[in-house]
Amino acid sequence: MFFRVMDKARIADLVRGLSTEYEVIGPVAKGERFTFSVIEDPADLRLDFDTTILPPKKFFFPPEERMMRFRVADNEVVDDEAFASPRVLFGLHPCDINALLLMDNVFLGEFEDPYYKAYRDATLLVGVSCSPRETCFCNAWDTDEVHWGFDIFLTDLGDRYFVSVRSVMGAELLDRHVETSPITAEDTAEFQAVVREFKRAFPAKLDTSQLPLLLDAKFDDPVWDELGERCLSCGACSMVCPTCYCFDVRDDLDPDQRSGERKRVWDSCQFSEFSAVAHGQTFRESRASRVKYRYYHKQWGYLSKFERVLCVGCGRCTHACLADISPREVVTALVEGSEAR
């Protein structure tokens, strides 16, 4: 990795330059919130954003995605090409980059997913530092820092960015499109100060002691029933989560019924149909068991395979949940006992 500093005002140059070669995507305002969208005008880029409604996963694993086109008569695949055009995803916070790394384990590990891979290969990532909001708890999972998985990372030093360059592509692009200068000792010192301040700004650190064990030990804890009563089963938490990857597969026929396409669409374990098998048997009938499963899988199921928790503490689900169910609350209830809430 090597480092540069860049004047903040130069960000527009960089975006404009990148736009000549790539589709540039970044955070833009939508009402009082933000979304990752294609940047038409560098002035729309809002690197001071807090968080986006949907995470960047929508660019790698779209909410609805064609997997293949088929012909019915001979049950033949007509086209299953995975195609993605080159693009730069600008302004990912550390949690979002970490989330992509967690998704990679699933989609790029055993049985590589060609669609996800095509998007991943075609996309460069430019990260940007952030400041914690009250719903953030990435520090609980050590996802407040990111050391790889990006091409360029910008840390905000007020009037300039401390630029960490991870990949050859990142270095070349920087070189081609924007003026930067070598870092000085002061830059590094200031960078460290910023990081220190960032760590200090977090709300009280979430206690996650023995969480996977507790999930088993307290499998029948009444807290789940209480959560089940509150949960709306709406699945909003899964949609906005940068690490939720479940999907449903559907075949849609064209109106002439001769051909059609197989699609996948985002799904959620909070829906009763999610675990239903033929004849209507459902393995997680109660709402309580479904709420529990989301945490059980994230904090233990995934961990048992990949040694990481399937959450990056971005707080999106906290914001999206109308019933105010949040990982912070659930983890606290398990670790400290439900009366501690």
Partner 1 sequence: MAPRVVVIGLASDFGCQVQMTNIEDHLLDVLGLIDLTYWQLASSGHLPAEYDVAIVEGAVTTEAHVEALRRVRETAGAVIAVGACAITGGIPAIASAGELADRYGCVYGEGGAEVACGRIAPMPVTAVIDVDYRVPGCPLDTDEFLRVLSRALQGLSGRIPEEPLCAACKTRENICFHDRGELCLGLVTRTGCGAKCVSLGRACTGCRGIAADANLDAAYALLASRGIPAEEFTRRLSLYNTLEEGCDR
Partner 2 sequence: MTASTTYRQLKANPYRPWPARITSIVDLTEKEKLIEMRLIDEAAREAFSFDAGQFVEVSLFGVGEAPISISSAPSKQGFIELCVRRAGDVTSALHQKQCGDIIGIRGPFGRGFPFPEMKGHDVLLVAGGLGIAPLKSLINHIHDDRHDFGNVTILYGAKNPSEILFRQQFDMWKHREDFELIMTVDQPDETWDDEVGLVTKLFDRIDVDPARTYGAICGPPVMYRYVIDEMRKKEMDADRIYVSFERRMKCGIGKCGHCGVGHQYACIDGPVFNYWEAMNLQEAI
Ligand X SMILES: Cc1cc2nc3c(=O)[nH]c(=O)nc-3n(C[C@H](O)[C@H](O)[C@H](O)COP(=O)(O)OP(=O)(O)OC[C@H]3O[C@@H](n4cnc5c(N)ncnc54)[C@H](O)[C@@H]3O)c2cc1C
Cα 323 to Cα 319: distance, rounded to the nearest angstrom: 10
- CA 109 from centre of chain: 18
Contact 136, 309 (CB under 8 A): no
Question: Contact between 316 and partner 2 (CB under 8 A)?
Answer: no
- Least Å distance, CB 28 to partner 1, is 11
Minimum CB distance to ligand SF4 smaller for 15 or for 311: 311
- Residue pair 256/199 in contact (Cβ under 8 Å)? The answer is no
Residue for token digits 């709402």?
287
* 3 binds, options ligand X, ligand SF4, partner 2, none, Cβ within 5 to 8 A by partner type: none
Q: What whole-number distance in Å separates Cα of residue 190 and Cα of residue 146?
A: 18
Mark residue 246 as left, alpha or beta (left: phi above 0; alpha: psi -120 to 50; beta: remaining).
beta
Which option in ligand X, ligand SF4, partner 2, none does residue 297 bind, with CB closer than 5 to 8 A by kind?
A: partner 2
> Do 209 and 328 form a contact (C-beta atoms < 8 A)?
no
Q: Which does 235 bind (CB under 5 to 8 A by kind): ligand X, ligand SF4, partner 1, none?
A: partner 1
Give the nearest distance from C-beta 59 to partner 2 in angstroms: 18
9 near partner 2 (CB under 8 A): no
Instruction: Supply φ then ψ for residue 245, to 5 degrees.
Output: -125, 5
* Alpha-carbon dihedral 147, 153, 155, 160, rounded to 10 degrees: 150
Query: Closer CB to partner 2, residue 93 or residue 284?
Result: 284
In angstroms, the Cα distances linking 80 to 69, 77, 114, 119, 261 are 7, 7, 9, 14, 10
Q: Which is nearer to partner 1, 158 or 255 (CB)?
A: 255
The SS3 assignment for 297 reads: helix
Which one, 74 or 339, has the nearer CB to partner 2? 74
Beta carbon nearer to partner 1, 59 or 198: 59
Which residues bind to ligand SF4, rule: CB under 6 A? 240-243, 311-317, 327
Residue 165 Cβ, how far from partner 1 at the closest point, in Å? 31
Residues 214-243 that bind partner 2 (CB under 8 A): 216, 219
H or E, element range at 23: strand 23-30
For residue 200, the partner it binds in partner 2, ligand X, partner 1, none, with Cβ less than 5 to 8 A by kind, is: none
**Is 56 or 327 the residue whose CB approaches ligand SF4 more closely?**
327
Tell me how crowded residue 121 is: count the other CB atoms within 10 A of its CB. Answer: 11
Provide, rounded to whole angstroms, the least separation between the CB of residue 254 and ligand SF4. 24
The pattern of x and - marking residues 244 through 283 that bind partner 2 according to CB under 8 A reads -xxxxxxx-x---x--x-x-x--x-x----xxxxxx-x-x
With CB under 5 to 8 Å by kind, the binding choice for 317 among ligand SF4, partner 1, ligand X, none is ligand SF4
Q: Minimum CB separation from partner 2 for residue 95, in Å? A: 21
**Assigned token pair, 96:** 């979002």
Nearest to 166 by CA among 291, 1, 36, 333: 1
Where along the sequence are the contacts to ligand X (CB under 6 A)?
277-278
Contacts to partner 2 from residues 132-151, by CB under 8 A: none
> Quick one: CA torsion of 218, 220, 225, 228, rounded to 10 degrees?
80
Where do contacts with partner 2 occur on this chain (CB under 8 A)? 67-68, 70-72, 74-77, 80, 82, 106-107, 110-114, 216, 219, 245-251, 253, 257, 260, 262, 264, 267, 269, 274-279, 281, 283-284, 289, 293, 296-297, 300-301, 304
